[in-house]
Structure 1
Amino acid sequence: MSTTDESQRRSCVSCGLNIAGTNAAAFKCPDCGTQIYRCAKCRKQSNLYECPDCGFTGP
């Protein structure tokens, strides 16, 4: 995977905002281990997220 492909995939899983260069969280899905990114605004507001691979949801 190229660097360009990797940076295009870095968007908030809750709102879709491109999180490149922002204060975002990156963590692995508790169920399947897929990398998930969330922007600071969605984290602060405790917006729900859903894993794109397994459907796990969390706050």
Structure 2
Amino acid sequence: MSESQSTEQRRCISCGLNIAGTNAARFKCPDCGDVIFRCAKCRKQSNLYECDDCGFEGP
């Protein structure tokens, strides 16, 4: 994976914020296992997200 692809994928799935170097969460989608990133603000506010791969929706 190239440097630009790595940075591209490290965006909050809820708000799109680049989360490189922040206190973010990284976890696998409960349905398909795709890696999901969320920023601390969206996690704290329980903002909804949708997995790009399978469409799973979570708080």
Provide TM-score, normalisation by structure 2: 0.95
Alpha-carbon shift at residue 2 of structure 1 (Å): 1.5
Number of equivalent positions = 59
Cα RMSD over matched residues? 0.7
Encode CA deviations 1:35-54: one digit per residue, 9 max, x unaligned.
00000000000000100000
Q: Where does the alignment leave 5 or more consecutive residues of structure 1 unmatched?
A: none
Does 1:10 pair with 2:10? yes
Encode CA deviations 1:3-58: one digit per residue, 9 max, x unaligned.
33112211000000000000000000000000000000000000001000000000
Percent of residue pairs identical: 75
Provide TM-score, normalisation by structure 1: 0.95
